[in-house]
Amino acid sequence: MDHLDWNQLKAFLETAETGSLSAAARKLGLTQPTLSRQVAAIEQRMGVTLFERVGKAMALTPTGQDLLAHARAMGAAADALRLAASGRSQAVGGVVSVSATFGMAAHFLAPLVRQLREKEPTIAIEVIATDANSDLLRREADIAIRHVKPDQPDLIARFVREATAHFYASEDWVKVHGHPRRAEEAAHLPFVGADRSGHFLAFLRQQGLPLSEANFSCYADHSLAQWALVRQGMGIGAMADEIARDTPGMVRVLDEVPPVRFPIWLVTHRELRTSRPIRVVFDALAQGLA
């Protein structure tokens, strides 16, 4: 089998990874019929059956399972090739993507993008707001602002600083419920929850707050939506101090509870540090976030 078509190989790989023709087509920016033809073409070229339909899903055959590891290795090699090529680009302009949590993107990153645009008008910043860690090795972002130091050896991480968060409530909420200062005062007060899985409740208990699910008046899995509910007087919420200080009408409560401390790391791939646009953005973010 000579001259394997890379597009067909990507069609096989993404279909195997997602388990669905429609999901793979969306990820590759193709129509489903086009992707289906590419999968059929690589099966014909190889002379094997790679998938079986199970309802709406695409399940790998034993042959497909055997070939998947090889396809993944080829995909990783292609990603490394793109990274190396991007890293050696010394063009003055271009688009640099930066991922950050919703709160970081809205409050910390937005003003830095404006400042950077004024200094480097040929560089455009794509802001990727997500509470999940973007995969820099697969180019889901060029740079990431994270709160955990990465352990992958191919990533460069720069510690920027440590930030703090405390508990806050709206002025109207304080008028109704008073101003609680000690952890034990929180036992019968309403809070705004971040999830219903118990993770946020466990976090609050780690801070010394004697709470249960009954304390949550509402939930929001988006940090900015959660903060909006706190502002509306739905309960107490945790927020980074810099964001809270810039939000009118908010009062710090539970003053005697120790602050939540979280690091700010700036992360990129080592190959990308040789790219001038990414290097310029990385250095500007490091200075601005500090």
Residue 207 falls within a domain, yes or no? Answer: yes
- What is the end-to-end Cα distance of the chain in Å, rounded? 55
- Domain presence at residue 33: yes
Residue in this structure with the two tokens 């034993």, named with its chain if needed: 62
Domains identified in the chain, total number: 3
Regarding whether 18 and 63 lie in a shared domain, the answer is yes
Do 54 and 177 lie in one domain? The reply is: no
What does each of the 290 residues of the chain score in pLDDT, given as a tens digit?
A: 456 677 888 888 888 888 888 888 888 888 888 888 988 888 888 888 888 888 778 888 888 888 888 888 877 777 666 666 555 555 556 889 999 988 899 899 999 999 999 999 999 999 998 877 766 766 688 999 998 888 888 888 999 999 999 999 999 999 999 999 999 999 999 999 999 999 999 999 999 999 999 999 999 988 899 999 999 999 999 999 999 999 999 999 999 999 999 999 999 987 666 788 888 999 999 999 98
Which residue type sits at 245? R
198 lies in the same domain as 238:
yes
CB-based contact 190:217 (threshold 8 Å): yes
Residue 7 three-state SS: helix
Tell me: do 172 and 257 sit in the same domain.
yes
H or E element in which residue 266 lies? strand 260-269
Q: Is the same domain home to 181 and 247?
A: yes
Indicate the SS3 state at residue 290: coil
- Give residue 90's pLDDT: 54
Q: Does residue 13 share a domain with residue 72?
A: yes
Which residues does residue 265 pair with via DSSP β-bridges, in sequence order?
146, 159
Is residue 172 domain-shared with residue 253, that is, in the same domain? yes
- We report the CATH number of the domain holding residue 68 as 1.10.10.10
Q: What are phi and psi of 217, to 5 degrees?
A: -85, -25
In a domain, 15, yes or no: yes
Q: How far is CA 196 from the centre of its chain?
A: 20
Segment holding 171, helix H or strand E: helix 171-177
Say whether both 202 and 146 belong to one domain: no
**pLDDT the model gives residue 83:** 62
Chain-centre distance of CA 284, in angstroms? 20
Give the per-residue pLDDT at 86: 58
Residue 179 lies in a domain: yes
Residue type, 11: A
- For residue 169, the cross-strand partners are 251
Q: What is the DSSP letter of 211?
A: -
> What's the confidence (pLDDT) of residue 2?
53
Q: Which domain holds residue 135?
A: 104-158+265-289
Is residue 131 domain-shared with residue 181, that is, in the same domain? Answer: no
Six-digit token pair at 196?
């219903």
Q: Give the span between the Cα atoms of 85 and 122, in whole angstroms.
A: 20
Name residues whose C-beta falls within 8 Å of residue 272's C-beta, 6 or more positions apart in sequence.
83, 86, 87, 142, 143, 278
Q: For residue 186, give the CATH number of its domain.
A: 3.40.190.10
